[in-house]
Amino acid sequence: MRPLGGLELNRAAIGFGGFSGLHLDPALNLTVISDTGRWLRAPLLMQGERPVGLGSPVSGMLRDGSGEALRRGRTADAEAITRRADGSWLIGFGRWHRIRAFTALDAPGSFFEAPPGLETAPGNGGLEALATLADGRLLAIAEFQDDPVDPALRRAWLGGPGAWRSTAYRPAPGFAATDAAGLPDGGALVLERRFSLMEGGFSARLVHLPPAALAATPLSGQPLLHFPPDGPAENYEGIAVLRRGSALWLALISDDNQNAFQRSLLLLYAWAG
């Protein structure tokens, strides 16, 4: 894994923070969502393979089915974003546990069948990870919703509307999944986070699930990165994957909770895969 660099995003210049989901397209346009119900798109500016800034951003509010902007709070807690093959977006929400589909980020959100049982997740522990796999299936993982048989596992699902299959995910002890991204070979990456006052605050792991791991129960993988030491400690909540030449580029973003003592960091890595 080769670090390419990183940025600290200026919340004052952007107008908001709380970034909780991330996408990076082949033209290096960055799309992020916030747990305040907002979205932002901006080109990622590069010098060679090193990120140096963001171009002029465009942002707006996520909308409900009638086109009204989501009210900040329980209805607007956007936590995960993924793009489908047809160009549409799916966004997973916490607190009011649901998935909504968007033809464009400034369009009204429409109903999308959520995984069975998600409605019983803890108020702030529901769907944090949502990824589109290479075969078109979705991978969804709850942050703090325990598996009904083994409390060391978290509820997870594969499939999609009419074909959701319940499974479970095994995070590292004390960690919870905060995002996921599909890989071109059919596998996935899962981002995990831990917060502990006794152990220095935030830490995180990036875990690789090869295709065979997605056919097993529970889902379990091998770590690729640890934060720290592979990057600064922060509240990482978003992961995106982009094929770039012979390598994969991995982008991670942190949620500053709109707190003056935290940062919105964007990190970029190259992985041979």
- pLDDT classification of 109: cutoffs 50, 70, 90: very high
**Under a CB-based contact definition with an 8 Å cutoff, are residues 34 and 262 in contact?**
no
Task: Note whether 141 and 154 are within 8 A (CB).
Answer: yes
Mean pLDDT (whole number) for 102-122: 96
Average pLDDT for 65-92: 93
pLDDT at 257 over 90: no
Q: Residues 34-48: what's their mean pLDDT? A: 96
| 8 Å CB contact between 170 and 153 | yes
Angle among Cα 14, 236, 77 to the nearest 5 degrees reads: 65
Instruction: Look over the chain and give the mean of its residue pLDDT values, rounded to a whole number.
Output: 95
Query: Who contacts 107 (Cβ-Cβ below 8 Å, separation ≥6)?
Result: 63
Answer whether residue 72 shows pLDDT above 80. Answer: no
pLDDT of residue 4: 97
Average pLDDT over every residue of 164-189: 97
Residue 90: both structure tokens together: 């799916």
Q: Quote the CA–CA distance of 87 and 157 in Å, as a whole number.
A: 22
d(CA 136, CA 269): 25
pLDDT at res. 36: 93
Q: What is the CA radius of gyration of the chain?
A: 17
Q: Is the predicted pLDDT of residue 273 greater than 80, yes or no?
A: no
β pairing state of 58-61 and 89-93: unpaired
Place of tokens 């990036």: 206
- Strands 38-47 and 29-34, by their bridges, are antiparallel
Q: What percent of the chain has pLDDT over 70?
A: 100
Question: Does 198 have pLDDT greater than 80?
Answer: no
Check whether 134 has a pLDDT greater than 90. Answer: yes
pLDDT of residue 232: 95
- Which pLDDT value is given to residue 136? 97
pLDDT in tens, 135-144: 999 999 999 9
Residue 124 in contact with residue 94, Cβ under 8 Å?
A: yes
> Dihedrals φ, ψ of 213, to 5°?
-65, -25
- Residue 67 confidence (pLDDT) above 80: yes
pLDDT of residue 202: 94
Backbone angles phi, psi at 12, to 5 degrees: -65, -40
List, in order, residues 6 or more apart from 47 with CB less than 8 Å away: none
Please check the confidence at residue 240 and state whether its pLDDT lies above 80. Answer: yes
Domains belonging to the chain, first-starting first, are 2-271 (2.120.10)
- Position 71 scores a pLDDT of 86
Dist. CA 88–CA 103, nearest whole Å? 5
Residue 139 pLDDT: 98
**pTM score over 0.75:** yes
- Bridge partners for 51 per DSSP: 46
What mean pLDDT comes out for the span 90-104?
Answer: 96
Residues forming a β-bridge with 27 = none
Task: Write down the pLDDT at residue 168.
Answer: 97
The whole-number pLDDT of residue 80 equals 97
Q: How many CB atoms lie within 10 A of CB 202?
A: 18
Do 191 and 253 touch, CB atoms closer than 8 A?
Answer: no
Provide φ and ψ at 167, rounded to 5°. -145, -160
Question: Across residues 143-147, what is the average pLDDT?
Answer: 93
Looking at residue 83, its pLDDT comes to 97
The number of CA neighbours under 13 Å toward the Cβ of 77 is: 16
